[in-house]
Amino acid sequence: MHILILGAAGMVGRKLLDRLVRDCRLGGETITRFTLHDVVAPEAPAGTGVPVSLSASDFSLPGEAERLVAARPDVIVHLAAIVSGEAEADFDKGYRINLDGTRRLFDAVRAIGDGYRPRLVFTSSIAVFGAPMPDAIGDEYLTAPLTSYGTQKAIGELLLSDYTRRGIFDGVGIRLPTICVRPGKPNKAASGFFSGIIREPLAGQEAILPVSDGVRHWHASPRAAIGFLLHAATIDGARLGDRRNLTMPGVAVTVAEQIEALRRVAGDAVAARIRHQPDPVIERIVAGWPRGFDPRRAIELGFTAEPDFETIIRAHIEDELGGRIAA
């Protein structure tokens, strides 16, 4: 099995690759080749005995997507995107990468033809929903985004469904919760503070909270995100029918509940490292985001996430901090 990962240098891409290298198999089939792509050069995985092709380019440029799929990968995992805050700040770049790049990728698969029909996993976002919204959004709720990023992802979902209907590929779109706690340095995502108020205090650093602690949001860990991707790559498409885009399970908590979970896991001194500093731009963006979901269809189809936010924090401590919390 040949697997192509776009966005392979990002946090989720690296963790997905590590898991695939460790397992050596996907859906019962042996992995025989990886193609890894990002705008910056991905790192070759250690410990794999299969060929690995590395590629760095802007996949939205003419000819790049065609080059990436020319070897007819069996599974394509599309993680490449400009994140929410950057897509809102740079209108042209957001549409070029998140929409034009996605369309070029889909059309590159279409151009091969000749019976080629890979499984294509598209990472969408809960940003496809917009206010006004119920406290728990069900499977039938309309997508009406209030940000450019959400709009770009919603269009990608429609394209994925239509190209799948036309038999061009076998697509599965997964709307990821905010992935928390993200390791490493902060990125330009408007949601980055959700991880920052946990990650930085656990590492002994101050964290800035730019919104009210009453903000409620939907979260899943990096561990859960990898599980979502693996399940999406292997699920029987017949079980999905024509509805190819799914909201993933997660945990709905307020910022105050996040902080209280941090206090229970790591103590008062760690929680005290969070400082409230309002940011009107972030507050405006977050105000239009969903607060919670009823993802019963995804759960029925076998997707799973953490039961509570404490479990998410403990997963970060185990996976990224070696089980230790900074004094």
Candidate list 95, 116, 141, 149, residue with the active-site label = 149
HSE (side-chain half, CA atoms, 13 Å) at 327: 0
Note the pLDDT tens digit of each residue in 73-112: 999 999 999 988 899 899 999 999 999 999 999 999 999 9
Q: How far is CA 173 from CA 20, 48, 231, 236, in A?
A: 20, 28, 12, 14
Structure tokens at 287: 């105000």
pLDDT of res. 326: 84
Ranges of residues in the chain with a pLDDT under 70 are none
Q: Which domains, from first to last, does the chain contain?
A: 2-176+222-247 (3.40.50.720), 192-217+251-320 (3.90.25.10)
* H or E stretch at 78: strand 75-78
Answer yes or no: are the C-beta atoms of 183 and 198 closer than 8 Å: no
User: Quick check: is 149 catalytic?
Assistant: yes
Return the exposure string of 309-320: e unless at least 16 CB atoms fall within 10 Å of the residue's CB, then b: bbbbbbbbbeeb
- Position of tokens 């994925």? 160
Answer yes or no: are the C-beta atoms of 228 and 176 closer than 8 Å: yes
pLDDT of res. 131: 85
pLDDT of res. 62: 95
Note the pLDDT tens digit of each residue in 267-282: 999 999 999 999 998 8
pLDDT of res. 296: 97
- DSSP for residue 41: P
Q: Is 318 helix (H, G, I), strand (E, B) or coil?
A: helix
* H or E stretch at 4: strand 2-6
